[in-house]
Amino acid sequence: WHPTSSIRTVHRPGARVMLKLSLGVRITNSRRENLRKELHRGVEVHRLLSTGLAERWQREHPGFDIVRDPAWLAVDDPEGTPVTGLDVMLRHNPFGPGDDAACIAGLTAQRPRPGRSGMSSRLAEVVS
């Protein structure tokens, strides 16, 4: 599993879903945790788009899509209270096994190369 640009969503080549995880630290003044109401909302948006709305939308705007969150998993304590931080959204993976999907920041970021002086990027390797 590899992080995406959103940090909390991880991607695995060939997997049907990506995982949107909670991250129990503050980033830009809020804790990055999946809230149950947001998990329910994601499933409702998925259901709405599955009614045919997405197909009509894509006919009008080819190449545009909305990330689908069709399901989620969570842990409750024995009393039924949600355990914070253990909620996981199952997010549709739009990338197929043959797609070379990479975060643009990962393509352009300079990185050290063992045995080579200086820095290079994956983009520079692809272009050359």
pLDDT band at 33; cut points 50, 70, 90: confident
pLDDT value at position 60? 93
As a whole-number percent, the residues of the chain with pLDDT over 70 amount to 78
Residue with tokens 């590899």: 2
pLDDT value at position 32? 83
- Where residue 125 falls (left for φ over 0; alpha for ψ -120 to 50; beta otherwise) is alpha
Which residue, 26, 44, 24, 43, is CA-closest to 34? 24
| Per-residue tokens: 104 | 């643009």
- The answer to whether the beta carbons of residues 74 and 89 sit under 8 Å apart is no
**DSSP alpha helix (H) spans, the chain:** 36-48, 54-60, 104-108, 122-127
pLDDT band at 126; cut points 50, 70, 90: low
